[in-house]
Structure formats: structure tokens, C-alpha cells
Amino acid sequence: MPDRYNPQVIDHLVRPRNVGELEGASGTGESGDASCGDVARFTVRIAENRVEGVRYKVYGCAACIAAGSALSELVSDASLLDAARVSGVDLEEALGGPLPAGKEHALTLVLDALHKAIEDHWNREAGEMLVEGYGGLRAGTGGKKTVVVATSGGVDSAVTALLMKEAGYEVACVTFRLHDGERGSRSCCSPDTVLFARDTAHRMGLPHFTLNLKELFDRRVMEDFVGSYAEGRTPNPCVSCNAHVKFHAASFLADKLGFERVATGHYARVVEEPEGATMARPVDEAKDQTYVLWPVPRELLARTIFPLGEHRKEEVRRIAEDRGLAVAYTPESQDICFIPDGDYRGFVRKSVAAEPGEIVDREGRALGRHKGVVDFTVGQRRGIGVAAPTPLYVTEVRPKTGQVVVGKKADLETREVRVGGLNWFLPPERAGSVQIRYNGRPVPCEMEHAEGGEVVAHLGAPVFGVAPGQSAVFYDGDKVVGGGVVRRDT
Ligand SMILES: Nc1ncnc2c1ncn2[C@@H]1O[C@H](COP(=O)(O)OP(=O)(O)OP(=O)(O)O)[C@@H](O)[C@H]1O
């Protein structure tokens, strides 16, 4: 590492390019803060996926000023995809080689400011999509080999992007800012998920974009999660995210870039049936995510690729290792991404005022008191707080009266389930079995149509502890016929 600046750095210092603020910018981004000591600000004007104009300002060290200047030069008049592909290594090259020790952060700082400006551009383009979700759903034609890959900074999505690239696709990566609980959203200098995902994309030579979906995620996923507990339902936030957020946002970006397909690192397969695209269980049964993917709209599924559906998790890690991806060793993600400590009751309690109420048996006899229905779900055994000779289970939560009903395990037995909010990939008549838990086994079922477009599934074997709000997913062998949400009463 050199102990002084290269001539290229000095040149950018003496004659900084593109300094200032752009009039009529379509995006503005800032990175760094007073605690880092350096702040970089980029303004960009993007039209028809080209960077028509770029200006930057830096308050900070000489390395940051020179890096800002060099970056602005690299992306000026470039296609948006090329601009989003510029990596720290490219920038270093433009500056004549490595910066002196302790100055490398300049590269990350200015790149982050540029990417935030592009993110701001998308935010302005997206408008309502960032709050309501994307409405322009359509299938890809499958003609052009172009794909937007949703990358989260983990091994699965990184390998997805790599496999798509190796299959001859033109790939653009996108990372969504979903909530503040994720690693990152802090300063540019912290180990941030977005920075990591970007760096991973750049190391594969791929462009990377960021979309801020916090408001959409808050409305469609977190509020639903909290509200469900308050109403005595058992929500699945991954299902709501797949229903409204990830796939829609990836499709929005694909449409803006003129790309045909979208891909994620989910373990599932898309298969063609005479009726159209449907989903099937993946090769790696232990990683099967079809249970949480049922609400993906059919139009979107038709443009979706799940390359990991053909691989086992061990292979995915091996591919990452073989290709030298740093993500090869990232840990498995936790259950609920926005509750990193796993204390979801605590999370819900912060948002809803819990009212105390009665614990009763099936006949309505009071057995004790509780501090709020939000603390209970159907099937729960622990933490009921009532002594009994045989184990007690929560068999029903009644939010209106504040009652929690408890009983024996046998009382949890369910033989029929009413399901609404349905999304079908195949004709409902093809459903031969239904799965009602993420890690549950499918049980044979017969379907009866009910009022309001809902169905009642008559189960061929009893299922214990079915809670309203859970997903019920119908299968024909390993194919997903459709899915919906368990209603309170049959
Ligand atoms: N914040 C995010 N931004 C972009 N894509 C995301 C994000 N979170 C999840 N995804 C996409 O959804 C897929 C499944 O998400 P899940 O939370 O199950 O991650 P995962 O199996 O741990 O995958 P990974 O190893 O890629 O993090 C990811 O592989 C990725 O394609």
C-alpha cells in the first residue's frame, strides 16, 4: 500500500471534475456523517436509463474528494447499468491504484453516495409503488435473457445471481431496504447489509441497485403481523412479504430496466403445466419454501426463475466457495427478519396495548387470568400459567371478549379447515393434499366450495392446533395447486 497519493489522485484534487449540485436532478444521495468525518453528496439526472448528468460535493479528506471526482467521471454519460456496475476496484484503478493506508473508506463513501442518488431516482419513479405495491403485473416473454435478481446479502441469492450469469443472462441485482432491524441502515462505514450485497454483486461484475421499501413493508407486513396477534390470528410475515413486496418490487425494476425475468434465492421450482406456470417443491426437501410462496400472483410467477430449486443447500455453499464468494460462510437467516432477537411477543407488545383477560375452559369456566391475548396462539402449551393435572393447550383465542380458551390436546384436533384469500395456480379440483404448517406434512384432503369464493378442506387425517391466519397450501403431488389463509370458522 503506498504512503502517498498517486499522480491520478493529485490530478483529481487539482482539477476536480463535476463538482457542485445538478439543476433538475432526478436523484440525490448522501453518505457519511460527522462521526465518520467525511460526507459525500451526489446529484444525478437519469433519463432513459442513462446517466445524463452527475455532480458531487465532498466535505472531507483529499482521498474522498479525488474519489468523488473519479467516480463522477466514470459514470458521466454511462448507461445506468454500467454506472451501477462500477466497483471499488474500478474506482481504485481510475485513481491509479490503491489509496494510502487508512484512506480506502473513500471508495465506499463515494460509491454509497452515488448509489443512494440512484436509489432516490427509483424512489421518485416508483411513487405509489413504494406505498401500495406494484400494480403493473405481467408475465415475462422469456425472449430476452435478462433477469433482475433480488439479493439480500446472503449466500442463496448471491449464488442465484451467479447461476443466472453463468446461464448466459444479463443480470442486474437489487437489494430492498425493508426495515430498520436489519444489519445496517447505519452509517456508510458500518458492516451494512446493503453495502455487503452491493460489494458481492460488484465482485461478480454485476450492476447493483437498492430500493427503499420500508413504508410498503411496514404497511403490508409489519402492521399485519402486529394486528394479527391483537386479533387472535397467527400471521406469517414471509407470506405477506411474498404477496405484496419482494416480487412486485423486483418486477417494477425489471420493467423499468426493460428486463424480462426476475429471480430470487427461494428454494422452489417453476414448472409449466397445460394451465400455465405453477410452482413445485424443490430438490432439497429440507429447504422447501413453497409453503410461503403461494401468494405470488400468477402473472409474476410466469416471469420468475428460482434457480436454487434444482440444487441442495450444500451444493449452493460449495458453488459459492468454489467461486470465491465471501458470502459462502454467511449464517442461515433467522425466522422473522425484522425481529433479530426472535422475541416476537415482545415486538408485538411494543405496538399494541395488551388488555388483561380470562383464561377459560371449553365450558366457559374461568381457570385464571392472563395479561393480554397477544401472548397466546392456538396450539401453545408453554406459558399458560394455569396448573392442571394433564398438560393444557390453547385451543382458541377470542380477542373480542379477551378470553383465552384452553383444553386437552385432543381438543386441538381439526378435521376440516375453511380457507379464504385464495390464489390458485392450477384448478382447485387438482388439490389432493393440504399443508397447514411451514414444517408440517401435507395431509390428504377433499375440497368443498364455500360462500365468498372460499373453500372448506375436509382432511383425511387429523391436524392438531390449526390457527386462523396460518397459510393452507394445496398440493397435487409436488406441485402447488394454490393456497390461502385459514379462516376462523368452518
Ligand atoms: N432485503 C432483501 N433484498 C432483496 N432480496 C431479498 C431480501 N430479502 C430476501 N430477499 C430475496 O428473497 C429470497 C429468500 O429470502 P429468505 O429471507 O428466505 O433468505 P435466505 O434463504 O436466507 O436467502 P439469502 O441466503 O439470499 O439471504 C432471497 O434469497 C432473496 O432472493
Q: Are residues 158 and 98 in the same domain?
A: no
Domain membership of residue 428 as a residue range: 413-489
- At residue 128, the pLDDT reads 81
Q: How far is the CA of 238 from the centre of ligand 1 (A)?
A: 10
Inside any domain, residue 42? yes
Instruction: Look at ligand 1, atom 13, and give the residue with the nearest C-alpha.
Output: 265
Domain end: 294, 312, 329, which one? Answer: 329
- At residue 150, the pLDDT reads 98
CATH code at position 471: 2.40.30.10
Q: 446 φ, ψ to 5°?
A: -125, 140
Q: 296 φ, ψ to 5°?
A: -60, 120
Q: Are residues 187 and 306 in the same domain?
A: yes
150 has binding-site annotation: yes
Q: Which residues contact 358 (CB under 8 A, 6 or more apart)?
A: 366, 368, 369, 370, 402, 403, 404
- At residue 414, the pLDDT reads 93
Top mutation candidate among 119, 148, 149, 152 for ligand 1, by most atoms within 8 Å of CB: 152
Establish whether residue 264 lines the binding site of ligand 1, counting it when its CB lies within 6 angstroms of any ligand atom.
yes
Instruction: Look at ligand 1, atom 8, and give the residue with the nearest C-alpha.
Output: 152
Contact 118, 50 (CB under 8 A): no
Q: Are residues 365 and 322 in the same domain?
A: no
Establish whether residue 479 lines the binding site of ligand 1, counting it when its CB lies within 6 angstroms of any ligand atom.
no
Name the E strands within 155-217: 170-177, 208-212
Inside any domain, residue 394? yes
Print the SS3 string covering 223-236. Answer: HHHHHHHHCCCCCC
Q: Are residues 388 and 467 in the same domain?
A: no
Per-residue tens of pLDDT for the chain, all 490 residues = 677 889 999 999 999 999 999 999 999 999 987 666 899 999 999 999 999 999 999 998 999 999 999 999 999 999 999 999 999 999 999 999 999 988 889 999 999 999 999 999 999 999 888 888 888 777 776 567 999 999 999 999 999 999 999 999 999 999 999 988 644 443 343 448 899 999 999 999 999 999 999 999 999 999 999 988 878 888 899 999 999 999 999 999 999 999 999 999 999 999 999 999 999 999 999 999 999 999 999 999 999 999 999 999 999 999 999 999 988 887 777 678 888 888 878 888 888 877 899 999 999 999 999 998 888 888 898 888 888 888 899 999 998 899 999 999 999 999 999 999 999 999 999 999 999 988 889 999 999 999 999 999 999 999 998 989 999 999 999 999 999 999 976 5
CATH code at position 67: 3.90.1010.10
Q: Are residues 14 and 86 in the same domain?
A: yes
Top mutation candidate among 147, 156, 325, 438 for ligand 1, by most atoms within 8 Å of CB: 156
Atom nearest to 176 CA in ligand 1: 3
Q: How far is the CA of 271 from the centre of ligand 1 (A)?
A: 21
The answer, yes or no, to whether ipTM is higher than 0.90 is: yes
- At residue 144, the pLDDT reads 73
Domain end: 407, 423, 447, which one? Answer: 407
- Read out DSSP for 22-37? -TT-SEEEEE--TTTS
- At residue 447, the pLDDT reads 94
Establish whether residue 176 lines the binding site of ligand 1, counting it when its CB lies within 6 angstroms of any ligand atom.
yes
Q: How far is the CA of 390 from the centre of ligand 1 (A)?
A: 42
Inside any domain, residue 340? no
Q: Are residues 238 and 140 in the same domain?
A: yes
Inside any domain, residue 276? yes
Per-residue pLDDT tens over the stretch 275-297? 999 999 999 999 999 999 999 99
Provide the annotated active-site residues.
241, 337
Inside any domain, residue 19? yes
Atom nearest to 292 CA in ligand 1: 18
pTM for this predicted structure: 0.94
Q: Are residues 139 and 187 in the same domain?
A: yes
Q: How far is the CA of 193 from the centre of ligand 1 (A)?
A: 11
Per-residue pLDDT tens over the stretch 451-461? 999 999 999 99
Q: Are residues 165 and 54 in the same domain?
A: no
Measured CA to CA, the distance from residue 49 to residue 411 in angstroms comes to 60
Residue entry with cell 384436533? 413
Q: Are residues 287 and 240 in the same domain?
A: yes
Q: 277 φ, ψ to 5°?
A: -70, 135
Establish whether residue 333 lines the binding site of ligand 1, counting it when its CB lies within 6 angstroms of any ligand atom.
yes
Q: Are residues 136 and 70 in the same domain?
A: no
Establish whether residue 151 lines the binding site of ligand 1, counting it when its CB lies within 6 angstroms of any ligand atom.
yes
Domain end: 77, 104, 125, which one? Answer: 125
Q: How far is the CA of 192 from the centre of ligand 1 (A)?
A: 15
Measured CA to CA, the distance from residue 30 to residue 116 in angstroms comes to 7
- At residue 129, the pLDDT reads 80
27 has binding-site annotation: no
Domain count across the chain: 4
Measured CA to CA, the distance from residue 27 to residue 38 in angstroms comes to 20
Q: Which three cell numbers stand for residue 180?
A: 430498520
Inside any domain, residue 349? no
154 has binding-site annotation: yes
Q: Are residues 293 and 361 in the same domain?
A: no
Contact 88, 64 (CB under 8 A): no
Inside any domain, residue 216? yes
Q: Are residues 187 and 267 in the same domain?
A: yes
Inside any domain, residue 346? no
Establish whether residue 157 lines the binding site of ligand 1, counting it when its CB lies within 6 angstroms of any ligand atom.
yes
70 has binding-site annotation: no
- At residue 187, the pLDDT reads 37
